[in-house]
Amino acid sequence: MGAQSLTKFIATIAIAIFSVTTFASTGNTENPTQHDAHSGHNHNDHKSTEDHRSNSHAVASHGGEIDTKEEIQSYSEHHLADSHDFGLFSYGKKERHHVGFSLPVIVWTTKGLRIFSSSKFHYNDNGNTIVDANGVQLVKIHSKIYELDNAAKAVAFDAEHHPTNAYKVWDFSITKSVLGMIIAGLLMLLAFGSLAKSYKKGPIPTGSGRFLEPLVLFVRDEIARPNIGENKYKKFMPFLLTVFFFIWILNLLGLTPLGFNVTGNIAVTVCLALFTFVLVQINGNKDYWKHIFWMPGVPVPMKILLMPIEVLGMFTKPFSLLVRLFANITAGHAVVMGLIAVAYTARETLGVAGGFGVSFLLTLFISLIELLVAFLQAFIFTMLSSLFIGMAVEEHDHGHAHDAEVHGAEDNSVV
pLDDT in tens, 377-399: 999 999 999 999 999 998 766 54
CB 329 within 8 Å of CB 264? yes
Looking at per-residue confidence, does 117 or 31 come out higher?
117
Interval 246-254 mean pLDDT: 92
- Strand boundaries in 238-302, DSSP class E: none
- The Cα 87–Cα 99 span in angstroms is 6
Looking at per-residue confidence, does 82 or 224 come out higher?
224
CB 64 within 8 Å of CB 35? yes
Instruction: Report the share of the chain in percent with pLDDT over 70.
Output: 68
Q: Give the per-residue pLDDT at 165.
A: 85
- The Cα 311–Cα 179 span in angstroms is 37
Is residue 303 helix, strand or coil?
A: helix
Tell which residue, 172, 165, 37, has the closest CA to residue 113: 172
pLDDT in tens, 95-149: 666 677 788 999 999 889 999 988 888 877 788 888 888 888 898 888 889 988 8
The rounded mean pLDDT for the chain is 75
Residue 248 has pLDDT above 90, yes or no: yes
The interaxial angle of helices 3-27 and 347-393, nearest 10 deg, is: 120
Q: Give the per-residue pLDDT at 228.
A: 94
Q: CA of 167: how far to CAs of 53, 85, 124, 163, 171, in Å?
A: 22, 21, 18, 7, 12
Instruction: Report the share of the chain in percent with pLDDT over 90.
Output: 26
State the pLDDT confidence band at 265, using cuts at 50, 70 and 90.
Answer: confident
Residue 26 has pLDDT above 60, yes or no: no
Q: What residue ranges do the domains of the chain occupy?
A: 31-173, 178-397
Looking at per-residue confidence, does 3 or 219 come out higher?
219
Residue 188 has pLDDT above 90, yes or no: yes
pLDDT in tens, 290-347: 888 888 888 888 888 889 998 998 999 999 999 999 888 877 767 776 666 666 666 6
- Strand boundaries in 103-136, DSSP class E: 104-109, 112-117, 131-132
Cβ burial of 374 (10 Å; 0-12, 13-18, 19+) is buried
- The Cα 391–Cα 228 span in angstroms is 8
Residue 226 has pLDDT above 80, yes or no: yes
**Cβ neighbour number for residue 182 with a 10 Å cutoff:** 11
CB 83 within 8 Å of CB 143? yes
List 73's β-bridge partners, or say none: none
- The Cα 359–Cα 342 span in angstroms is 6
Least confident among 72-76, 140-144, 279-283:
72-76
- Amino acid identity, position 299: P
Burial 126-159 (b: 16+ CB within 10 A, else e): bbbbbbebeebbbbbbbbbbbbbeeebebbbbee
State the pLDDT confidence band at 80, using cuts at 50, 70 and 90.
Answer: low
Tell which residue, 212, 219, 221, has the closest CA to residue 238: 219
List 98's β-bridge partners, or say none: 90
Longest dimension (CA), the chain: 96
- The Cα 25–Cα 395 span in angstroms is 53
Mean pLDDT highest for which of 64-78, 139-153, 232-246, 318-332? 232-246
Q: Give the per-residue pLDDT at 352.
A: 64
Q: Give the per-residue pLDDT at 395.
A: 78
Q: CA of 146: how far to CAs of 141, 157, 203, 247, 350, in Å?
A: 7, 13, 56, 31, 45
Q: Give the per-residue pLDDT at 16.
A: 42
Interval 38-62 mean pLDDT: 38
DSSP, res 34? H
Residue 40 has pLDDT above 60, yes or no: no
